[in-house]
């Protein structure tokens, strides 16, 4: 029989049903629809000891005195007020390792798509039903031997670097946190100052959390530093890139192309001018979700909650800047 209650913020449906199936026998999972008001959510959280969500208001937490942990199912935690939640004494843990493989594979797919002009090939062949007509003279590139700059060498950045070893790239990285020498050697990566990484890279890929420091970290100044032939890949958080500046850079040939899984506003408006450019590949924030990564995320979430319920310190804690 369940001995503890845990709230999972999700609309009723397949995702909620899946998490109910994955919950350990000693946990009763309470489904809380995010569309409800805080006033409507509060009664559901009275006996809850942990919350699985990446968007919980401080006012609501004040009405849930038994909550001992907020656990996310993804690496992102930018919608949580870490400072205010911390003042309530509630720790927050993310789930970055769960989707690291999925996001890294999506990132490599973006690089291949941009280098091989796969979206043009698809459009001309499948949509226009032409065989090579319109593809003659198209500049198709390899990733092999290119210089790739990884901004953010956390769990996802490391997985990207690991996969790039198979492409024989020169892989640079920038991070505010030191990466041990043995890890650098294992991944065949070189530390580089941010500006120099932008100048030298043929492909720049972003893998940082969204914080005050990283919001808008790629804007006019940074795009001006990049090679006109360079690609930008963003599979972390949309606001890390100044979208207007990116549109200008792509329109004016300051950089060659961009692969974006995330945008500043999601869902993005249908009139987003990036949709009008033919040197952009956009996917709808789907780098992380997948069968395997969803399983890993659920497994880690319940494991970490189990640690808290047992009086142990949770893993993967995140803190305000």
Q: Catalytic positions, please?
A: 237, 266, 285
Instruction: Tell me how far apart the alpha carbons of residues 51 and 242 are, in angstroms, rounded to a whole number.
Output: 32
Written as one string, the DSSP assignment of 145-203 is T-EEEEE--SHHHHHHHHHHGGGT-EEEEE-SS---HHHHHHHTEEE--HHHHHHH-SE
- C-beta of residue 42 within 8 angstroms of C-beta of residue 60: yes
Q: SS3 of 9, please?
A: strand
Q: What stretch of H or E contains 233? A: strand 231-234
Planar angle of CA 291, 265, 233, nearest 5 degrees: 60
Give the HSE-up count for residue 165: Cα atoms under 13 Å, Cβ half-sphere: 13
Count CB-CB contacts under 10 A for residue 204.
28
Instruction: Tell me how far apart the alpha carbons of residues 71 and 77 are, in angstroms, rounded to a whole number.
Output: 9
Distance of CA 86 to the CA centre of its chain: 23
- C-beta of residue 48 within 8 angstroms of C-beta of residue 5: yes
Instruction: List the beta bridge partners of residue 191.
Output: 173
């Amino acid at each position: 029989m369940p001995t503890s209650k845990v709230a999972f913020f999700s609309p009723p449906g397949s995702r909620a049903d899946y998490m109910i199936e994955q919950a350990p026998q000693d946990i009763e999972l309470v489904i809380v629809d995010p569309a409800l008001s805080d006033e409507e959510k509060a009664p559901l959280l009275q006996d809850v000891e942990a919350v699985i969500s990446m968007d919980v208001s401080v006012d609501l937490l004040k009405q849930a005195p038994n909550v001992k942990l907020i656990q996310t199912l993804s690496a992102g935690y930018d919608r949580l007020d870490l400072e205010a939640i911390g003042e309530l004494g509630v720790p927050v843990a993310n789930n970055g390792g769960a989707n690291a493989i999925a996001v890294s594979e999506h990132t490599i797919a973006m690089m291949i798509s941009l280098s091989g002009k796969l979206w043009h090939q698809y459009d001309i062949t499948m949509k226009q039903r032409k065989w090579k007509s319109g593809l003659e003279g198209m500049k198709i590139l390899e990733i092999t031997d290119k210089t790739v700059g990884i901004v953010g060498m956390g769990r996802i950045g490391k997985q990207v670097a690991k996969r790039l070893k198979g492409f024989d790239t020169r892989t640079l990285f920038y991070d505010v946190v030191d990466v041990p020498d043995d890890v650098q050697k294992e991944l065949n990566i070189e530390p580089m100052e941010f500006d120099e990484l932008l100048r030298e890279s043929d492909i720049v890929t972003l893998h940082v959390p969204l914080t005050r420091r990283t919001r808008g970290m790629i804007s006019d100044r940074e795009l001006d530093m990049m090679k006109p032939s360079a690609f930008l890949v963003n599979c972390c958080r949309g606001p890390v890139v100044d979208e207007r500046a990116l549109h200008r850079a792509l329109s004016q040939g300051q950089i060659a192309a961009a692969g974006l899984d995330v945008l500043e506003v999601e869902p993005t408006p249908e009139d987003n001018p990036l949709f009008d450019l033919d040197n952009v590949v956009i996917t709808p924030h789907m780098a992380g979700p997948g069968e395997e990564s969803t399983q890993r995320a659920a497994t880690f979430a319940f494991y970490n909650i189990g640690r808290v319920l047992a009086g142990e310190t949770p893993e993967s804690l995140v803190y305000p800047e």
